[in-house]
């Protein structure tokens, strides 16, 4: 038994239980009540002791899950001076810099909120941009799920697999993923309209794609626009099966349906966001990072 108490927030209770089991720690759940006006009321189902680990993913509804995280952290702080906050998925991490004039760098405010609520350390799984970590004034660590995701594909019978990043910005992730599998990797050239969000693939063609199974690797899939365009492009190059792999499967709206329609055989993600695609467990790497 470690000296941690793990508090599972409403968005991450199952993952928090797994982490508590790995740490051999006490687990405390939360009772969530939502009032008719939309307010959240959180009640801890026990009294924590020792160091406290708050586990709460900030996925949609993002604002509600963020406020619940802050509320739990604040309550935990009344029991301990050491409150570690685990954010399996960190909402607002994409708002880490000013892309257009007048835009607010929201992650900077979120970082200040977490500190003000009483967090002494923050752990995030595959944050969208490490630039976001620079806005924290308390220790903030990124945990990579790439190896755990790659292990899942290592068990699959793939034909001459090729790891592909849907854009140049994810080339390092693709490189690391491919290294664990011992296969090749490449990256497409993507362009996104900052105002409309529309995605286009600028790559004209790729050598060595024909007949090969493809693993499209990204940190997150939200609306699925990038994956759809990449899958359509790769299918035109006469690739084999195309698999979409990500840490965080937000899959907003018809994203999953559109991805499958574009020719993707299967979507595989981590359990940072619970759902039917979240088959890869990240509790081992979280427990290891904390200890």
Q: Which two tokens stand for residue 46?
A: 């026990």
Do the beta carbons of residue 114 and residue 86 sit within 8 Å?
no
Do the beta carbons of residue 221 and residue 170 sit within 8 Å?
no
Do the beta carbons of residue 55 and residue 90 sit within 8 Å?
no
Q: Which two tokens stand for residue 26?
A: 């006490």
DSSP-based helix, strand, coil % in the chain, nearest 5: 35, 25, 40
Instruction: Write the CA distances from 266 to 100, 175, 281, integer angstroms.
Output: 35, 21, 17
Q: In whole angstroms, what is the distance from residue 193 CA to residue 201 CA? A: 12
Task: Write the DSSP assignment of 78-127 as a string of letters.
Answer: TT-S-EEEEESS-TTTT-SS-SSTT---HHHHHHHHHHHHT-SEEEEES-
Nearest residue to 14 via CA among 55, 69, 50:
55
190 is catalytic: yes
Do the beta carbons of residue 72 and residue 58 sit within 8 Å?
no
Catalytic residue among 26, 51, 108, 190: 190
User: Helix, strand or coil for residue 131?
Assistant: helix
For residue 161, with 0-12 CB atoms within 10 Å meaning exposed, 13-18 middle and 19 or more buried, which class applies? buried
Residues annotated as catalytic (active site), given as ranges: 190
């Amino acid at each position: 038994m470690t000296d941690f108490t793990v508090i599972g927030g409403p968005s991450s209770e199952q993952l928090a239980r797994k982490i508590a089991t790995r740490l051999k720690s006490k687990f405390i759940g939360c009772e969530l009540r939502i009032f008719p006006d939309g307010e959240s009321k959180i009640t801890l189902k026990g009294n924590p002791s020792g160091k406290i680990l708050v586990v709460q993913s900030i996925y949609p509804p993002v604002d509600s899950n963020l406020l619940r995280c802050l509320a739990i952290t604040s309550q935990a702080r009344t029991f301990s001076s050491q409150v570690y906050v685990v954010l399996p998925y960190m909402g607002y991490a994409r708002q880490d810099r000013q892309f257009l004039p007048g835009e607010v760098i929201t992650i900077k405010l979120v970082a200040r909120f977490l500190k003000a609520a009483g967090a002494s350390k923050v752990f995030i799984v595959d944050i969208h941009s490490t630039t976001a970590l620079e806005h924290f004034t308390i220790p903030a660590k990124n945990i990579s799920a790439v190896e755990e995701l790659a292990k899942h594909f290592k068990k699959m019978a793939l034909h001459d697999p090729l790891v592909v990043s849907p854009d140049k910005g994810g080339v390092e992730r693709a490189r690391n993923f491919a290294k664990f599998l011992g296969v090749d990797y490449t990256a497409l050239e993507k362009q996104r309209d900052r105002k409309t969000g529309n995605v286009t693939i600028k790559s004209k063609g790729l050598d060595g794609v024909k007949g090969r199974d493809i693993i499209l690797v990204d940190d997150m899939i939200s609306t699925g626009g990038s994956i759809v365009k990449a899958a359509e492009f790769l299918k035109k190059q006469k690739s084999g099966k195309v698999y979409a792999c990500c840490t965080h499967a937000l899959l907003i709206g018809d994203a999953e349906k559109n991805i499958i329609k574009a020719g993707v055989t299967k979507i595989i993600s981590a359990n940072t966001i619970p759902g039917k695609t979240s088959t890869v467990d990240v509790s081992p790497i979280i427990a290891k990072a904390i200890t």
